[in-house]
């Protein structure tokens, strides 16, 4: 998204995996007293500044979580 007046350009993106949702639905049917957990996502952001000189700021991040969660018994 360019901002003409200042010469700034911004871009943002992210992704989320549906694997965790699918795994928890299937796992609940197969495993007793626990639920499989899998969460995956990542994101990126970029900001570019200035016309005569260029300054770029990049940011990246991600998260991966795999395991199982004990179901509460009452």
* Residue with the larger pLDDT of the pair 16 and 5: 16
| pLDDT averaged over every residue in the chain | 82
Range of the domain at 25: 2-66
Is residue 48 domain-resident? yes
User: pLDDT tens digits, residue range 33-68?
Assistant: 777 888 889 999 999 887 666 888 999 999 998 887
Per the structure, the count of domains in the chain is: 1
Q: Is there a domain that residue 9 lies in? A: yes
The secondary structure of the chain in percent helix, strand, coil, rounded to multiples of 5, reads 15, 60, 25
pTM as predicted: 0.61
Rounded average pLDDT over 20-33: 74
Q: Residue 71: inside a domain, yes or no?
A: no
Give domain status of residue 74, yes or no.
no
pLDDT band at 2 (very low <50, low <70, confident <90, very high): low
């Amino acid at each position: 998204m360019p901002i003409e007046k200042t010469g700034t350009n911004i871009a943002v993106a992210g992704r989320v995996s549906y694997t965790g949702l699918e795994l928890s639905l299937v796992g609940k049917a197969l495993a007793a007293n626990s639920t499989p957990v899998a969460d995956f996502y990542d994101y990126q952001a970029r900001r570019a500044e200035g016309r005569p000189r260029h300054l770029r700021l990049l940011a990246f991040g991600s998260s991966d979580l795999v395991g199982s969660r004990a179901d509460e018994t009452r």
